[in-house]
Amino acid sequence: MTSPVRALLLLATLTLAAAWPGGCPWAREATPRDRIRERLLERQQQKAAPATEHETPGRLTKPGDTRHTLDHGGLSRDYIVHVPRSYNPTTPTAVLLAFHGGGGNMHFQADDENYGLISKSESAGFIAVFPNGYSPFPGGKLATWNAGACCAAARDKHIDDVGFVRAVVADVQRRFNVDAQRIYATGMSNGGMLTHRLACETADLFKGVAAVAGTDNTTSCSPSRAISVLEIHARNDDHVLFEGGASAGAFRDESKVADFTSVPETIARWTRRNHCDPAPTRVLDRPGAYCERYSGCRDAVAVQLCVTETGGHSWPGAAKVRGGKEPASQAISADDVMWDFFSRL
């Protein structure tokens, strides 16, 4: 992407963000003015975005990025796939689904500067899938996920995101040689909350999930089997508070979010569900971060918590964050920690 185009995209993004003083446009209903701004931003993003091939029917064998559309629940839903250069269509390959945060979209999640998952896909050799949440806009921007108690329109309209994810995985399996024993999910914030719901309702599909800055806000949870869960969270998260609740002033309309479950309670729930040993083992300890792993779980699954001291509401290791926000912690890389966790399952 050229510098002038990137600068134009940044200007358009900042113009849109400035319309919401709370920094979270997804925490309220969209207005006609919002829709106009969204269309302007979409046009700029389309001009600036890297080339992505459009819908291609049938099985795919080439590396690169493709965009796909499927109908589910009476809605047209989109997702992007990145296939690494190492992909061999004769070899079953691991798949990672990555869910954007509330108010984001699949393009934002697939941006390497934001999350680094394209680079991780290339180095680790997995297929990366970026679904788009529910959005009131034709372009899919400012999207949210129905993670149970959160968030916004996806929750309020009872969008079947769990069913959508199942449909995405089935479509990806139809197009690529997927190792069904190595399908994983990760997500940021509202997207991370969705991974907890997926662990509760699609344990038959996913080998493990990793949530970043998003806790378990499900309204019910009865996994069909034990499942491995990783939670990555900053102790000073200023949106989804470590000790529970939503930070005052972080959301323009708190009715669109939830009284978020704390990180300790999230881990306690998963250790109970998986019948793990109550005492964890510290598996990483370095300045600014640590990880603790719970073992002895049913069916040899694992529960792990990684905590950074700084970074706020961000993705550890990220190269950039939203304007005016605290830089992401560099003590650990969420991409590296989660893939190491998944690779050990």
- Residues written for the chain: 345
Cα dist from 147 to 155, 177, 258, 323, whole Å: 7, 29, 11, 26
- Supply the pLDDT for residue 46: 47
Distance CA 222, CA 220 (A): 7
- Supply the pLDDT for residue 323: 81
Under DSSP, the state recorded for 262 is: P
Domain ranges of the chain: 3-343
Residues 308-321: tens digit of each pLDDT: 999 999 999 999 98
For residue 263, what are its two tokens? Answer: 């990180």
H/E stretch holding 38: helix 32-48
Which are the contacts of 327, defined by CB distance < 8 A and separation ≥ 6?
A: 311, 314, 321
- Supply the pLDDT for residue 11: 41
Whether 164 and 131 have beta carbons less than 8 Å apart is answered as yes
pLDDT tens, N- to C-terminus, the chain (345 residues): 444 444 444 444 433 333 332 335 445 445 555 555 555 555 554 444 444 555 555 788 899 999 999 999 999 999 999 999 999 999 999 999 999 999 999 999 999 999 999 999 999 999 999 999 999 998 999 999 999 999 999 999 999 999 999 999 999 999 999 999 999 999 999 999 999 999 999 999 999 999 999 999 999 999 999 999 999 999 999 999 999 999 988 898 999 999 999 999 999 999 999 999 999 999 999 999 999 999 999 999 999 999 999 999 999 999 998 888 899 999 999 999 999 999 999
Which are the contacts of 324, defined by CB distance < 8 A and separation ≥ 6?
A: 23
For residue 40, what are its two tokens? Answer: 């302007």
Residues 24-47: tens digit of each pLDDT: 544 544 555 555 555 555 555 444
Which are the contacts of 36, defined by CB distance < 8 A and separation ≥ 6?
A: none
Coarse DSSP helix, strand, coil percentages of the chain, rounded to the nearest 5 percent: 30, 25, 45
pTM attached to this predicted model:
0.87
Tell me, which fold does domain 3-343 have in CATH? Rossmann fold (3.40.50)
Question: Over 123-164, what HEC string results?
Answer: HHCCEEEEECCECCCCCCCCEECCCCCCCHHHHHCCCCHHHH
Whether 312 and 238 have beta carbons less than 8 Å apart is answered as yes
Question: What is the C-alpha end-to-end distance of the chain, expressed in Å?
Answer: 37
